[in-house]
Structure 1
Amino acid sequence: MAYDEELADRLREILSQERGLTEQRMFGGLAFLIGGNMAVAASGQGGLLLRVDPADTEALVDEPLVGRFVMRGRAMDGWLRVDTAAVPNEPELRRWATLGVTYARSLPAKRS
């Protein structure tokens, strides 16, 4: 499945003023990076792939339509899948994108 281009455009609009923002295809989707660190992506499996503080994972996965990202059979703390239905409007999408951007900004920038 290709990533949702409409969702990617919505993310692009919300994140357009972020300094250090770049886009990169990864995980079968389109990721938005801050300082080289992934913040949020329009996932190739649908919805969002989101990077957050691992300490916040448990509280966030209690929300409807949110789960841990599973890689190679392992559920990952600090990585979330957010179903498209959880971001039906700009305020909800902005809320999730802001969580990802905030965490990405807390990490050391990667060298190019």
Structure 2
Amino acid sequence: MGREVTLDRLVWEFEINSDYYVGIGWGSVDGIGGFNRGEGMSMDASYADAAAWVAETVQTDLAGYEFVQWPSKGRHLLSAQASETGAQWVDPHDRTIVADIGSLCGQG
């Protein structure tokens, strides 16, 4: 069991600047280091490609924090993928679709 972390104080940032740099991340707060990633995403990307990129980018950074319960099947983290039908979480071992990205939690 890790330390208690108050996630509601995190301020997510999503940016598209004048050079068409697309970035996502947050600033450092309460001992949780900040991050920002922006490589590999085009402003003209489809919804499915953008949703899968955001999910993969955030997963890559957050998976190392012990307080994060990221989408998993058993002990294995799920992978993000884009397809013609949308963006999904898939089992990386057999490539079966587990759920649509965004559907694993209730919307507030």
Q: TM-score, normalised on structure 1?
A: 0.30
Structure with greater helix percent: 1
**Relative contact order, higher structure (CA 8 A, sep 6+):** 1
- Greater gyration radius: 2
